[in-house]
Amino acid sequence: MASESHAHEETLALREQFETEAQQKDASTLGMWIFLITEVMFFGGMFLAYTVYRRIYPEVFALASSSLNVYIGAANTVVLLCSSLTMVLAVRAAQLGKTKAIVAFLILTLILGGVFLGVKAYEWNEKFEEHHIPGASFHFEGMSPDQQAHAQLFFSLYFAMTGLHALHMIIGAGLLLYLIVHARRGVYANGYDTPVDLIGLYWHFVDIIWIFLFPLLYLIDRHMR
Amino acid sequence: MSAHVDSVKTYVLVFLALICLTVATTAVAFVNLGAFSVVAALGIATCKMLLVALFFMHVRHSSMLTRLIVLGGLLWLAILLLLTLGDMVSRGWVGVPGR
Amino acid sequence: MITAAAQEREHYLNQNYGLKSWLLTKDHKRIGLLYLFTVTLFFFLGGAFATMIRIELLTPTGNFVSSETYNKLFTMHGVAMIFFFLIPSIPATLGNFFLPMMIGARDLAFPRINLLSWYLLVVGGLFSLFAMLAGGVDTGWTFYTPYSTTYSNSWVIATALGIFIAGFSSILTGLNFIVTVHRMRAPGMTWMRMPLFVWSTYATALIQVLGTPVLAVTIILLFCERVFHIGIFDPALGGDPVLFQHLFWFYSHPAVYIMVLPAMGVISEIVSVFSRKPVFGYHFVAFASMAIAVLGFLVWGHHLFVATQSVYAGLVFSFLSYFVAIPSAIKVFNWTATLYKGSISFATPMLYAFGFIGLFTIGGLTGLFVAALGFDVHVTDTYFVVAHFHYIMVGGTIMAYLGGLHYWWPKMTGRMYPEGWARLSALVIFLGFNLTFFPQFILGYLGMPRRYHVYPDEFQVLHVLSTAGASVLAVGYLMPMIYFIWSLRYGAMAPANPWGATGLEWKTPSPPSLHNFDEMPIVTHEAYDYSTVIGEEIQVG
């Protein structure tokens, strides 16, 4: 009987279901983009909820938003943008097979991501101390009892959306660690850069989510305060 | 996928543009533009998104299929938002007989 | 013709033995069988709940179960059937097995993600099963707020968590299929030469990928509301319960197309083979699948007609709902045209296809009834709607699924099922189905509400007919269970192409080898080109 068609030995860059490395890279990239679209729809549901309630309770949302520190938020946005730069430079280094540069840029990205998460933790802690965490002890100074529930809606959405975003960052950090370990072993030194490329796409996508979260959550009618 | 290796310069320029836009959106928030504030904020955010997507995510070098996927995702998000908001916005436009 | 005895030849079933070789497999064919096993279990679970529902409805008063229990029964029937049987059924069993083969690929693009998808379905299923056994959930499979978030004392979160996890199974399967169809087609297999089953499965995959994430986030919000009372769906806290319905139905309407599109793909295959004619209007049928996938996302508000959705939104959604019927109708016309002057044989798969065409047409037309705002106001939340969707889901999808199982059984297992018993079962199922669900149209029109177990005496006759039908239907479903298993040991050995079908999957031995094709196939013919299989007649009389 003719042997099964293992036309080739299986390697990282060429798994047995594919014919060529280019086909594998193409397919993997396509897969990541489709995954990112599912993430768009996933976050999209929360953006919808946010939009609906901001429309119904504009003043309360504006007031609640003003209790967020816009400068910290902006600074954190800059941190994340820096991490996007270092990430794309890591991808570029992988395209060129430069192991040391890959590792360096990935580590920088990881650090910047860590800074972002640290700042987020600080902000959340601030909210905790101000009793702005939804639940039994929620209380927003200066609002009537009616408006408390609506302000709680704002903060629920704030925590849900930034929380979901932070979760994606943490997963991203884990993926970066994975890449760093493999990069140090020289796995991406010979033209096989797909994992770096794909995780780069993921990282940039998470950045784009924040690019929208920042103005929507922090910048509502700032001119009024 | 892309044999194009963009230059470091390209990336840094895009990065600087992103920083400027971040500063801009923060500053603009303190100016009273009325209803236009939201448009400005979302407009700037969209520009930033396009920069990240086209340059950092290499969409400008990508295949037609990739671009179609990106557009499809945005279109589907638009469907979710617009049709639902369409309901929210138009409630109360038609009175209920007898009330 | 290859008639190699299955015992001597190495193929995907006997190449490796042992539990690990199944639980850690990367082979899409084995994964398809793992899914077959899993979804069958959930089918019988959902069927058990249906049995209890129908027994309760034999009498006008609630004497078999309490109202609270009845609420749990119809909820769990819906959850089990929709999320753990219908959604995965055709794509994950027949799709997994045959999509790669039909396009000449060795496997899917991402085999390990494929295995992960199965595990996700199993884990999700276990969570929901736990909830069912621990006391059940009583919110309806639609989980409307604020009942599900504030007032229900049942296992809402466990059930919803199970659905959440299973949702990722669906998303990953869809992702896998899309990439596979785009990037793994054999040389010469252009888009317009692909079997229509592949087109349908591809369109389904698009829906899975675009819609299911919204369900996932909806469940997260449901969870937050139930646990933290954030107010997002609670009117007492300023929230809007209709927002939940928008988010829920944004997925759940396209979900019904996830359930029916692959079924339509199966029917295209069967109708062609058993008329020995290419599908009439191939291009129209292919594009109709895509149209259904797209248009299916624009109509969800027709589930909110009486939910305080604005009248204008209702008008828009009603209008759009009529459009989505058009591609479905195009398919029915094309199948009919395929049959016209075809050389028809009445093998079991074809019997199921006939059943599908008739019953889906009724189900689909009644969909137009309920898409009309004025009519829907009267029949919404009545048995009319229940009958409508069961005609499509059961009379449509399940019939197609059974047809597909019979059609591809020889290929999957290397055995023929017993044709006589199979035809009898098909007949029993068809009769049982109609006896069960046709009375429900009448019941609904007369005003019998859904989800009620206590009803006016004058409805009893129709309910008794329906329950009688359900008993017949149950027998009909048990029969294939028995003879399929019987056939694994005692069925006639199947040749490579018992039906004389075109299609790359029939060019492999039955059962196929581990990597499907010994050599990469090169495609030179259009789909359904029967000149290439002259002499390979249908083996079943």
Distance CA C419, CA C23 (A): 32
Q: What is the 3-state secondary structure (H, E, C) of chain A?
A: CCCCCCCCCCCCCCCCCCCCHHHHHHHHHHHHHHHHHHHHHHHHHHHHHHHHHHHHCHHHHHHHHHCCCHHHHHHHHHHHHHHHHHHHHHHHHHHHCCHHHHHHHHHHHHHHHHHHHHHHHHHHHHHHHCCCCCCCCCCCCCCCHHHHHHHHHHHHHHHHHHHHHHHHHHHHHHHHHHHHHHHHCCCCCCCCCHHHHHHHHHHHHHHHHHHHHHHHHHCCCHHHC
| pLDDT band at A4; cut points 50, 70, 90 | very low
Any A CB within 8 A of C5 CB? no
| pLDDT band at A146; cut points 50, 70, 90 | confident
Contacts of B37 in chain A (CB under 8 A): 221, 223
Residue boundaries of the structural domains of chain B: 8-90
Least confident span in A25-34, B24-33, C268-277, C403-412: B24-33
* Residue at C345 is within a domain: yes
Across B68-86, average pLDDT: 97
User: Which pLDDT does position A1 carry in this prediction?
Assistant: 34
Cβ–Cβ below 8 Å for A37 and B76: yes
Distance CA C96, CA C107 (A): 9
User: Which pLDDT does position C317 carry in this prediction?
Assistant: 97
Question: Which of B18, B37, B80 lies closest to A44 in CB terms?
Answer: B80
Residue C242 sits in which domain range? 30-533
Across A170-182, average pLDDT: 97
* Residue at C492 is within a domain: yes
What is the CATH classification number for the domain harbouring C481? 1.20.210.10
| pLDDT surpasses 70 at B60 | yes
- pLDDT, tens digit (0-9, with 9 covering 90-100), for C172-187: 999 999 999 999 999 9
Tokens of C364: 């689909």
Contacts of A39 in chain C (CB under 8 A): 213
* Residue at C178 is within a domain: yes
The domain tally of chain C equals: 1
* Residue at C466 is within a domain: yes
Question: Which of A16, A31, A46 lies closest to C110 in CB terms?
Answer: A31
Do A101 and A193 touch, CB atoms closer than 8 A?
no
Chains that touch A (3 or more CB pairs under 8 A): B, C
Nearest CA in chain B to A70: B26
Give chain A's domains with CATH numbers.
Answer: 21-224 (1.20.120.80)
User: Which pLDDT does position C161 carry in this prediction?
Assistant: 97
pLDDT by 10-residue block (mean), chain C, 541 residues: 58 92 96 98 97 96 91 97 98 98 96 98 97 95 95 94 98 98 96 97 98 98 93 92 97 98 98 96 97 98 94 94 96 97 96 98 96 95 98 97 98 97 98 98 96 96 97 97 97 95 94 91 92 72 44
Question: Which of C214, C247, C310 lies closest to B87 in CB terms?
Answer: C310
- pLDDT, tens digit (0-9, with 9 covering 90-100), for A212-221: 999 999 998 8
Contacts of B12 in chain A (CB under 8 A): 85
pTM: 0.95
ipTM of the predicted structure? 0.94
Contacts of B92 in chain C (CB under 8 A): 310
Cβ–Cβ below 8 Å for B86 and C312: yes
User: Which pLDDT does position A225 carry in this prediction?
Assistant: 60
**Nearest-CA distance from C298 to chain B in Å?**
7
User: Which one is predicted more confidently, A129 or C203?
Assistant: C203
Tokens of C66: 């309490």
User: Which pLDDT does position B96 carry in this prediction?
Assistant: 67
Cβ–Cβ below 8 Å for C297 and B76: yes
